[in-house]
Chains A and B, each alone.
Chain A
Amino acid sequence: AQSVTQLGSHVSVSEGALVLLRCNYSSSVPPYLFWYVQYPNQGLQLLLKYTSAATLVKGINGFEAEFKKSETSFHLTKPSAHMSDAAEYFCAVSGGSAGNTPLVFGKGTRLSVIA
């Protein structure tokens, strides 16, 4: 079984500051890990994914995440926050190459960006 825990339901940063959203996973098989972003009344958009290749994954909109097996973490970062980054962010895990396993989502972290 897979699960993810997102630390912090709400994170607030100043415009231009570092963004760090935390995600820890639990998986009985080598996981695939994902970060999705959701704007109000919209669906989920994939930011980036880890699928057992490079441990440092670059995504859209300047975001990146690093897979650390020793820490069972997949934290999302962005060097400089922009007002347009304000949204809900979800970390998700699947059973990876084990096959047809739906995504399991964390509870989400709401990012606020202060001007």
Chain B
Amino acid sequence: DAMVIQNPRYQVTQFGKPVTLSCSQTLNHNVMYWYQQKSSQAPKLLFHYYDKDFNNEADTPDNFQSRRPNTSFCFLDIRSPGLGDAAMYLCATSRVSTGGWAFFGQGTRLTVV
């Protein structure tokens, strides 16, 4: 019954070691988002896809990349994680006709050691 699924829920990675977070959806929504949320802060949009069209926020570091191989899956790649990248990463989906109403996954808590 889960609709937006993020794996893993908790990820520990070493400083500088590439890491990939995954998100899948069963809603067939055409828009997928990645947000970064640091402790006690609001979610911050990193990028989003409208179908295959990629939209990068101006202040998203180059260290963050994303792939969307098909409608159902989206990946967040962090090429060289730093201590400052430790955060909760939230995947969300929406249908463009619903004006931004987004469904969120449970998030992946990333720890960098």
- Which A residues are closer than 8 A to B by beta carbons? 32, 34, 36, 41-46, 49, 51, 90, 94-108
Whole-angstrom distance between the Cβ of A2 and the nearest chain B Cβ: 9
Q: A43-B105, A100-B50 are in contact. Are A90 and B42 (CB under 8 A)?
A: yes
Within 8 A of A (CB), among B17-55: 31, 33, 40-43, 45, 48, 50
| Complex CA–CA separation, A32 to B94 (angstroms) | 14
In the bound complex, do residue B101 and residue A51 qualify as a contact, i.e. CB atoms below 8 Å apart?
yes
- The residue in chain B whose Cβ has the minimal distance to the Cβ of A110 is B40
Known contacts A32-B100, A42-B106; 10 further A-B pairs (Cβ under 8 A): A32-B99, A34-B100, A41-B107, A43-B90, A94-B100, A97-B99, A99-B96, A102-B33, A102-B48, A106-B42
| Complex CA–CA separation, A45 to B105 (angstroms) | 9
Chain B residues near A102: list those with CB within 8 A.
33, 45, 48, 100, 102
| Complex CA–CA separation, A64 to B15 (angstroms) | 44
In the bound complex, do residue A51 and residue B99 qualify as a contact, i.e. CB atoms below 8 Å apart?
yes
| Complex CA–CA separation, A44 to B101 (angstroms) | 12
Q: A97-B99, A103-B100 are in contact. Are A41 and B42 (CB under 8 A)?
A: no
Q: A43-B106, A90-B43 are in contact. Are A100 and B31 (CB under 8 A)?
A: yes
Contact of A107 among B6, B41, B103, B109 (CB under 8 A): B41
